[in-house]
Amino acid sequence: MTGTLLVLLLIATPLLTILFKLFTSPGSSWTHLTENLLAGYLQNTLVLLIGVAAITFFLGVSMAWIVTNYEFPWRNHFEWLLILPLGFPGYIMAYTYTGLLDYAGPLQAFLRNQLDIQVVGSLMDIMNLPGAVFILSITLFPYVFLLSRASFLQQSRTFQEASALLGRNDWYTFFKVALPMARPAIVGGIALASMEVLNDYGTVKYFGVGTFTTGIFRSWFSMGDVTTAIYLAAILMLLVFAILSLEVLQRGKKRFAPIHFMSKPLVRVRLSRRKRVMLATACSLVFMISFFIPFLQILHWVWLTYERAMNADFFYLILRSFGLAAGSGLVVAVISVVLLYSLRLSPYHWLKNLTKIATLGYAIPGAVIAIGIMIPVIGLDHWLREYLFSNNGQMIVSGTVSILLFAYMVRFMAVGYHPLDAGFQKTGIQVNEASRLLGQNSWKTLWKIELPLVKASFFSAILLVFVDVLKELPLTLILRPFNYHTLATKAFDMATNEMIAESANSALIIILTGILPIIFLNRMIRKVNI
């Protein structure tokens, strides 16, 4: 149990650091920031949160209801096609749409060459706050789509038939029966999307929108004011916890109790030919805007630049990024196994609540975690230089890959922890008890019995963390070693230096890799609800 508590203490380091530093006096630039910038950061962040929540709710719930309840052409394909935008990081979508709408982009080229329509400047200016809301919404609505669809699939047909027998139409049934029953799932999806909005740096930075995340980067790198960055990080954490607490307070003690003996499987409705075409068209438009068109633009840029971009350095960049992501996934999976197995063997019930600390990192923006890790690491470096390395002026720990791995572990522990938790729950405690009765010790039982039973969950955890690490930008930008690039940072640096076409090569690898767990997740949802 001592090892478990030590791991939890390490994972809680960023939170504890920020809370401790809040008791120090503000930095020199705090007054300037509060008088001139803080109100703008707060306003832009709230607009982003509200705008993205509204659009993801509309797109996610409507698409989930359509593909779940109606039969129309290509319905089976839209079940997974509408999840693909999750593989598109927001910052990549941002500069892809900027290139699409630019003067030299394909849309304006078509208007000039085919229709002889001249447009001055960009076809549509999206490099602003509304544009950021649009970009983040079309990349994040699959969170709501996934959870809403899973909830709709689990709802019994009995409730909808009862509504119809009472003379209610489909619209009334949707709003008064199906939607309230799916509320926990919908709110969960919106909460996940909101967490990603607060974590986003690439999109808002590229569009020039000031938020708390850009403020943290500005305070840290431009002003050199660590304390101000910590104060901004603390405000951002308060927003995170406010979002997580809002649904709990609003829901109160209301719960839904399914009646299993009255449950009937969902039967999809067959509509007229005109309505089936309309539904297929609506799903196609959402898919084209959120994935197909920007993906085609990425492929076009890769076709134009691959001969210059794909050299030995590029392949080394891929190997480095994949190695870092795979290593992070393995570390998270191993530590998750240790935590869950220790929890299984522990007789203390309070340890279960304490272990939830391990999953808090995914709700905290990457920039906040980076600040919370960098402060104690710099202090450790000062101590090492003074007492062990004769003050040689070199940074011993900070600016190393090991710190980056630790930060990824804190940030994505929940991503690996939950699949393994589900795997351990399926095996049950009886298997462990039987092995112990046969004379095996706890760790041999874990190695010989438990791990083989949860190996599918183990590799799923590695895969999910792998993809998230590959896309992570703000955490990597702050904590990476000097001149150390991953696919994400390389793509972002090229795009911000107006090398958008060249950045598409790194972006394509990230997108294609991100599609793998999406297909896996869709198959898992279908198996659970068949």
* CATH, residue 320: 1.10.3720.10
| Residue 79 in domain | no
Residue 88 backbone dihedrals phi, psi, to 5 degrees: -95, 105
448 burial via Cβ count (<10 Å: 0-12, 13-18, 19+): exposed
pLDDT of residue 166: 67
pLDDT of residue 261: 44
The percent helix, strand, coil of the chain (3-state, each to 5) is 80, 0, 20
> Which residue, among 151, 137, 239, 135, has the nearest Cα to 187 in the 3D structure?
151
The angle formed by the CA atoms of residues 311, 314 and 318, to the nearest 5 degrees, is 140
| Residue 11 in domain | yes
Containing 530, the helix (H) or strand (E) segment is none
Partners of 270 in the beta sheet? 71
Query: Which residues lie closer than 8 Å to 286 by C-beta, 6 or more apart?
Result: 59, 63, 82
| Residue 393 in domain | yes
| Residue 368 in domain | yes
- Cα distance between residue 169 and residue 178, in whole Å: 13
pLDDT of residue 164: 65
| Residue 348 in domain | yes
pLDDT of residue 518: 72
Query: Which residues lie closer than 8 Å to 15 by C-beta, 6 or more apart?
Result: 237, 360, 364, 372
Q: Write the secondary structure of 421-464 as one string of H (helix), E (strand) and C (coil).
A: HHHHHHHCHHHHHHHHHCCCCHHHHHHHHHHHHCHHHHHHHHHH
| Residue 526 in domain | yes
Written as one letter, the residue type at 405 is L
| Residue 394 in domain | yes
- Cα distance between residue 205 and residue 207, in whole Å: 5
Query: Which residues lie closer than 8 Å to 331 by C-beta, 6 or more apart?
Result: 405, 408, 409
| Residue 18 in domain | yes
pLDDT tens string, the chain, 530 residues long: the values are: 666 778 778 888 888 888 887 777 777 788 888 888 888 999 999 999 999 999 999 999 999 989 988 888 898 889 889 989 988 888 999 989 988 887 767 777 777 777 667 666 556 778 899 999 999 999 999 989 988 887 787 765 666 666 666 666 666 677 777 777 777 788 888 888 888 898 889 899 999 899 988 888 888 777 777 788 888 888 888 887 787 677 666 555 555 545 444 455 566 778 888 989 999 999 999 999 999 999 999 999 999 888 888 888 899 999 999 999 999 999 999 988 888 877 777 666 767 777 777 777 777 888 888 888 888 888 887 777 777 766 565 667 777 888 899 999 988 988 888 888 877 777 766 666 676 666 666 777 777 777 788 887 888 888 888 988 998 888 898 888 888 889 999 999 988 888 888 899 999 999 988 887 777 666 665 554 44
- Cα distance between residue 310 and residue 301, in whole Å: 13
90 burial via Cβ count (<10 Å: 0-12, 13-18, 19+): buried
Question: Domain tally for the chain?
Answer: 1
pLDDT of residue 524: 61
**Structural domain containing residue 427:** 1-23+301-530
